[in-house]
Chain A
């Protein structure tokens, strides 16, 4: 089955700096890669996603890149703010079955 690895497990950045989280997946059939943000005690919320026919997608301060050949994708947060502090999960989904296989999560702390 699919396996998703996520790094780093924790990330501390100064407010205003950039944060980058990287994920790799094992199943070349995966074709949809969402990123979820989970604040303490809250539900995971989709923040951005990318499909396999696209190499990069941007939404304000958040961007995601996908390298299908290398089977890895990354989340980039620019100009970080304290409210960006949360746990971020990457996931991969195949066309069939549709279950999310999650990475282990990255705890991001933005220091003011």
Chain B
């Protein structure tokens, strides 16, 4: 079946502008995660959704970052007043349930460049 999809694949924006990144998880997956990967670096957890609620937002780097999930499916990560240090690949992952630890499947990512 279809995997995790993300859009846009690439986004170039000017410093100070807002951006929205979208994630479509695998159908039926109730858990959704956002991670960030800076150039040549590892993966950093941002936020986790179970259904439409976000029990763990501990990785969001500042109040410029927010995310929502509607209908237990699509999620949007919003970065307000972007800064150059926000440039990174933003990866979304989903897994079937949080009742037990499950494999997370990653999307292709959105490569964000803030000029």
**A interface with B by C-beta (< 8 Å):** 1, 31-32, 34, 36, 42-46, 49, 51, 89, 93-95, 97-105
Contacts and interface: CB of A to CB of B under 8 A. Distances in A.
B48 A49 contact: no
Given A99-B48, A99-B56, A44 B98 contact: no
Nearest to A30: B101
Interface residues of B, number: 27
Given A98-B31, A98-B95, A44 B103 contact: no
B91 A105 contact: no
A102 B35 CA distance: 10
Contacts of B45: 99-101
A72 B109 CA distance: 29
B56 A43 contact: no
Contact of B102 (A43, A98, A104): A98
B103 A102 contact: no
Contacts of A103: 42
Contacts of A104: 41-42
B110 to A, nearest CB: 11
Nearest to A51: B101
A101 B82 CA distance: 25
Contacts of A51: 101
A95 B106 contact: no
Contacts of B93: 100
